[in-house]
Structure 1
Amino acid sequence: MALGNAARTPLIRFLGRRSVPKSLDHTPRPHPASPSGTLPDSFAAYRAKAQQHGPLGRASFVSGAIGRNAGASLGPVQPKQGEFFDRDELPSRFHRLPFTEAEIEAVETGGASLYA
């Protein structure tokens, strides 16, 4: 097969020239799955009520409650009744089991030792 100066013909055929629609509606509207079906008044109003791993409002940062004081000043860090911080504080039946030699070898060989 010669690789001469022959023009290369692409295998993909496009139907026409690219065209951007003349009128696109960029007005904000609520998501179809929105529970309220309405937009918030402003981003600041939304942010004041939003939750993501805790409040997103700036009040907790401005007041200096987090990051400016020592951790001890935030209060005692003791688990409530029936709560545990570590699995080792639970009864022994909930403790982690040690890995067996077969499990270690299976992980190290990517599972190939199970079929050898």
Structure 2
Amino acid sequence: MHPTRRAFEHVHKPLIRFLGRRQWPSSPAPQHPHPAAPKEFADAFSEFLRKFNSSLSAPKKMPTSSSIEGRVYEFWEAPERLFRPRSRILEEWEIEAIESGGASMY
């Protein structure tokens, strides 16, 4: 037998089959409560949607100051307690010992 002919007889067939191009809808589906939601949630869903959509349409103001009501927008404005490590602070000689390899100094 010819080895090349045998190679063509048994062609690898992948186990994964792709279905082809997907057709995505041009508009989103209408919003509805989850089918397994409790009845009281399903009944109040239309009111929730009304409140949610009204909150989206209202323009949101960005704060003029960088820190308002305890919010921090830049990391350097955070309280000092957030920069302190929970363990003890390393001394300069300890940092140098770690950076140099440490074993040769002792």
- TM-score normalised over the length of structure 1: 0.29
User: Greater relative contact order: 1 or 2 (C-alpha under 8 angstroms, separation 6 or more)?
Assistant: 2
Of structures 1 and 2, the larger Rg is shown by 2
Question: TM-score, normalised to structure 2's length?
Answer: 0.31
Greater share of helix residues, 1 or 2?
2
